[in-house]
Structure 1
Amino acid sequence: MSTVPPPDRSDDDPAPSLSDEQLESFLREAAESGHAPSAPKEPSARARMVARRLREEDEAARRAAPGGGRGGRVPGRKRKEPGPPAPPGWRTGPAGQESKGGGSRRRRLGTVVGVLVLAALAVVAVRPSLLLDRLPGGGGGAEQPLAAENALPTGAPGDPARSGRATREHPFRGSPAERWAEGADAIEVPAAKALSGMSEKDVAFALRRTKELLVSANLDPGVLRGEQPDEALAVLDPKQPELLPELRRSLRAPDEEHDPLRLFTRFDPDEVRPAGDVVKVRGHMTLAAGEPGVVKVNADYTFVYPLVRADGDDGEVSRTIVRRVLTLTLNDPARWDVTEGKLLLEKYFSEHNNTDCDIDDGYLHPAFAADGPSGERPTGPTVDPYDRSQPLTGADSEGCGRVTRT
C-alpha cells in the first residue's frame, strides 16, 4: 500500500506511457527484491507541461547553436536530455534516505536483531531464573568471586548481597561462601623456592603433597561418606611416632579420645548426603624455614558443606562449616631420620560448626531447622564460622559454642 498521494491529473489528460528505461528499471527491481516494488507514479499534468516546455526550449537552443540540429554536440561533454521528474518514493526515495545497498543491509540487520531479542525473551519467559540469577539480589546465582586469600583477613565477611534460604539448586544462598572458590582448585599452592637448605624442587614437592592431603581428607567423596582416607594417610611418614597408629585407631573405633574428625571430614551416609557436588573452600598456604634441612608448610582452610537428609525429600539444605589449620614439614633424609618422600605432621587444629557436640562416633551431624533444638546445650562462646580473621589454636577447639550463621 502506497503512502504517496495519488498524482494530480484531470480526467481529459491522456495517461502517458512509461519509457523503456522506466519499464526496464521497474522489472529489474522486482526481480532483485523478490517482490513487486511500488509502481512508478505518473507525473501530474503540470509536471508534463513543464517538461514539454523545457524540451522545446532546449531544442530551440540547439538549433540556434553553430552546426545546429539534433546532431550538434559540445566536444568533450556528454549531454543528457532531461526527462520527466521522478515522483517521490520511487527511484529517488524520500529526502535523506540512505542508498539502496546501505539501507538494505541496515534493514536486514534490524530484522536479525529483532529475531534474537524475541528468542531471548522467549527463553527468559520459560526460565526466568536465567535472568534473575544474574541480577543483584536475584535468584541465587554466584556473584563475582573473591580474589584468592594469601593471609588472614582483617575481619569477618559481611552479609551476602543475596539473602534467603538455601535450596538444592542454590545450596550456598545466604552464605558468604557463595563467592568462594570451589573444591580442589581453591587450594592454591604458593610459588616454590629454595629454602632451609632444601632445593626448589623439594619445596614444590612439599607443597604438592600438602595439597593432596587436604583434598583427600576434606574433599574426596568417599572420605566424606565415611570411607578410609588412604591417600591422605599415604602422605604421612610412618616413622613419626604414634601418629599413623593413632589415626587408624580413631577411624576404626572412634570415641571422645580418638576422634578422626580432628583431621578428616566425615558424614554418616545413613543420615545425610551432599546437596550437589560442590564444596566451597577458602584459605591460604605459606612456607617457612625450620631447622636446617626442614621446610614447613602452613595451611589454613575453611570448608563449607551443603547437605540434605539421606531419607527425606523435604528440600531443606543445611550447611556444616569446618576450619582446619595444620603444619606439615619436609625433612632432608640426609640429616634426619625420616622416610624419603613423606611428610611429618607437626600440628593440626580443627573447628566444626553446625554439628551435635555430644556425639563421638567419628561423624559430623548437622542440624536442620525442622528438627528444632537438640543435643548438648551450648556452653562455649558464640562463633561466626565464616570469620577467618583470628588464628585457630588448640584452646579454641574445646567446648560447645553457638554459631551465629551457617
Structure 2
Amino acid sequence: MPIAEDPEPRPARGDEPGGSDPSGTGAKDPFADLVLDDDFVRGAAVKEQSGRTRMLSARWKHTPPVDPGGRRSVNDGPAPKRRFGRKPKPPAVDAWGNAWGNPRPRGSRWRTPLLVALTVAVLLAALNIDGLRSWYTSHFGGSSAARTPVPTVAPETAKPTTAPPKADEQQPTVAHPWAGSPAEGWPNGAEAFVLPEAQATGVFTTAQVASQLQSVKDYLIAANLDPAVVAGGRPDAALALLERQDQDGAKAALEHPSKENDPTNWFSRFDPRDAIPVGDTVKVQGRMTYEGDGDKGVLIHTDFSFVYALRPGPEAAKRAGSPQPTTHAPQPTKPAAPQGGGTARPVGLVERTDDVAGDTWTTRTIVRRVDTFRFYDPGRYQVQPKKVVYAKSQTDPANSACDVYDGFFHPQFDQFAAVRQDTPGSRPTGPAIDPYDRSKDVEQTEGCGTISRN
C-alpha cells in the first residue's frame, strides 16, 4: 500500500539525545523530541486518507463516476412508476465494468407468455359459453347460490298430505344426475324399505309375518333395483321369488310382450340402446303396511316411487327421430300380468357401455308402483310357502315413450327435443301430472299424459 513520503531531513544541531544523527552530518534529529500522544493526534490539522480513497480519487480524475440510479435511499421517496410495456433502461456500468441496478424488471420472462395464454383462453371461452358453463358445473357443481342443498327425507311412515316442494330448476348431468329433483334427498335404494313391526295375523305367527314382509322386500329389490335388471337384463332372481302362476305370467310377458301383457308392469328395465343408467343408485320413497285378508291370510300393501337417472344410449338420437314400432303379440293362456300402464320387449344379452363425460345431459324416469301381495292360508289353499303372490297392481311410469310395448321403459332426453317435435307419432296430450306427488292416488287415464317436472 502506498505511504506518504517522509519530509526532507532538517540540519542537525549536534545536540540530539544519544548523539543520533540520521542525516549523517552530525546534526540533531528534528523529530527526536516529538511525542505522538492523543492530544497531538486530535490537534492535527490534516487527516491522512486511506489507500483506497487515494486510489479512487486518482482514477476518477480521468473517468468520473456515473450515478447508476438502481440503489435508492429510504429518504428518496417512492420510486416512479413505469408505464405498461415500457422497456427498462440499460444498467449503468461503473469504471470497473460492474453493472449497477436491475437490468431487467422482475417477472419479464414469464409475463408475456402468461398474457398470451390468458388472451387465448378468454377468446375460446367467449366462443363456447355453453361448453364453459357445462365444464364448470361438472367440475365444481356451480355456485352455492345455483345449487341449493336438498334436505334429506326419511322413508314414509304414512301417506303424505302434499307434494314435495319445488326444487331449483337445473339441467341434470352425469356428474349431477339428481340436480333439480326433489328425489335428491330421498333414500337410496333398499334404504327406503322400512318393514313395519310384525305381529301374528290370521293363521300366521309373528315370525311368519316377518318372513313374508322380508319376501316382499326382496322381490321389490330384485324387480326394481337390481343393476343388471335395470340395465335391461333378465330378472331371474325376481322370477324365482314369485308363486308359480305369477311366475308363468311374468315369463310369458317377457317372451311375448304386448299392451295387454306388459313386462314393465312387473319389472323396471331400460333398453341400453337408448337409455343407460347413471351408476347403480336409484332414489326410492314409499311405505309398506299389512293386514289380514279376512280369510285367515295376510295382505301386504306397498306404495313406492322409483326414480332412475339415465344418460343417452348409442342409438338415442336416432330413436328420437323414428318412433319405435308397437309390438302386438297374442295374449298368453297363462294368468295375465298385473293391471297397469307401461312398456315391453323380448330379453336379450345386455352389455353396459363405458361411461361418458360428466357434463353429458341426463334425464330421469319416475315409476310409481302401488301393489298388494297376498299370502294365503296354506291349510285351505295349495300355495308355495314364502312365495310372493300378486293380489293387485298399479304401475304409473313418468317420462317414458307412449304406445311402445317392447319390454322396456323409453325415457326422453332434452337434447333431442327438437328432433321429436319434427317427428310424427304419439306425443303427450293429456293433463300435466306431478310424478313426485305421492299425496294422490294413482289414476289410470287414456292417452299419453305429460309431467309437470322431471
Picking from 429, 437, 441, the partner of 1:379 is 429
2: CA distance between counterparts of 1:293 and 1:193? 14
2:183 aligned with 1:196, yes or no? no
Counterpart residue identity of residue 233, structure 1: L
TM-score (normalizing by structure 2): 0.56
1:36 paired residue number: none
**Is the aligned partner of 1:224 residue 2:230?**
yes
Post-superposition Cα deviations, 1:63-110, rounded to whole Å, max 9, x if no partner, equal xxxxxxxxxxxxxxxxxxxxxxxxxxxxxxxxxxxxxxxxxxxxxxxx
Over 3 Å counting, the alpha-carbon distance change for 1:179 and 1:137 in structure 2 is farther
Q: Which residue of 1 aligns with 2:406?
A: 361
After superposition, what is the alpha-carbon deviation per residue over 1:265-296, rounded to whole angstroms, capped at 9, x for unaligned?
11001222111221100000001111243111
Q: Give, in angstroms, the shift of residue 325 of structure 1.
A: 0.7
- Counterpart of 2:159 (choices 142, 149, 152) is 152
In the TM superposition, what is the alpha-carbon distance from 1:133 to its structure 2 partner? 6.7
Counterpart amino acid of residue 382 in structure 1:
A
SS of residue paired to 2:407: coil
**1:305-316 maps to which residues of 2 (within 5 A)?**
305-311=308-314, 315-316=360-361
Aligned ranges 1:4-403 → 2 under 5 Å: 137=145, 139=147, 143-160=150-167, 162-238=168-244, 240=245, 243-311=246-314, 315-372=360-417, 373=421, 375-392=425-442, 396=444, 398-403=446-451
The more displaced of 269-278 and 302-311 is 269-278
Q: Is the 8 A contact 2:138 2:176 kept in 1?
A: no
Find the aligned partners of 1:392 and 1:404 in 2 and give their Cα distance.
Answer: 16
Provide, for residues 150-183 of structure 1, a one-character-per-residue CA deviation record: whole Å limited to 9, x for no partner. Answer: 12211211112x4421121211110110110101
Larger RCO (CA under 8 A, 6+ residues apart): 2
Q: For the structure 1 residues 130 and 404, does the alpha-carbon distance in structure 2 shift closer, same or farther, using more than 3 Å as the test?
A: closer
8 Å CA contact 1:129, 1:139 repeated in 2: no
What is the rounded CA distance, in whole Å, between the counterparts of 2:242 and 2:277 in structure 1? 28
Determine if contact 2:231/2:277 at 8 Å carries over to the other structure: no
Q: TM-score, normalised by structure 1?
A: 0.62
* Alignment root-mean-square deviation, CA: 2.5
Larger radius of gyration, structure 1 or 2? 2
Please tell me whether the aligned partners of residues 350 and 397 of structure 1 are also in contact (alpha carbons under 8 angstroms).
no
Shift of 1:135: 8.6
Q: Distance in 2 between matches of 1:381 and 1:130?
A: 34
The 1-side partners of 2:360 and 2:367 are apart by 23
Q: Secondary structure at the match of 1:349?
A: strand
Contact 2:231/2:269 (<8 A) preserved: yes
Alignment check: 8 A CA contact 1:384 1:405 kept: yes
Shift of 1:302: 0.3
1:181 counterpart SS class: coil
Q: Secondary structure at the match of 2:430?
A: coil
CA contact (8 A) 1:251 1:260 kept: yes
Residues of 1 paired with 2:190 and 2:183: CA distance? 15
Shift of the 134–281 alpha-carbon distance from structure 1 to 2, 3 Å rule, reads farther
Q: CA deviation at 1:328?
A: 0.6
Aligned to 2:132: none
The letter for the 2-side match of 1:402 is T
Q: Distance in 1 between matches of 2:445 and 2:239?
A: 23
Consecutive unaligned residues in structure 1, runs of 5 or more: 1-127
**How many angstroms does 1:352 deviate by?**
0.7
Residue 341 of structure 1 and its aligned partner are, at CA, apart by: 2.2
For residues 139 and 310 of structure 2, what CA distance do their matches in structure 1 show? 26
Q: Post-superposition shift, 1:230?
A: 1.7
Counterpart-to-counterpart distance in 1, 2:191 and 2:143 = 26
CA contact (8 A) 1:195 1:203 kept: yes
Q: In 2, Cα distance between the equivalents of 1:208 and 1:343? A: 10
What is the CA distance between 1:147 and its match in structure 2? Answer: 2.2
Given the superposition, is the C-alpha separation of residues 316 and 132 from structure 1 closer, same or farther in structure 2, using an over 3 Å criterion?
A: closer
Distance 1:402 1:295 in 2: 37
Partner of 2:128: none
- Verify the 8 A CA contact 2:138 2:173 in the aligned structure 1: no
Checking the alignment, whether the CA contact within 8 Å between 1:206 and 1:329 is kept in structure 2 is no
Q: 1:306: Cα distance to partner?
A: 0.6
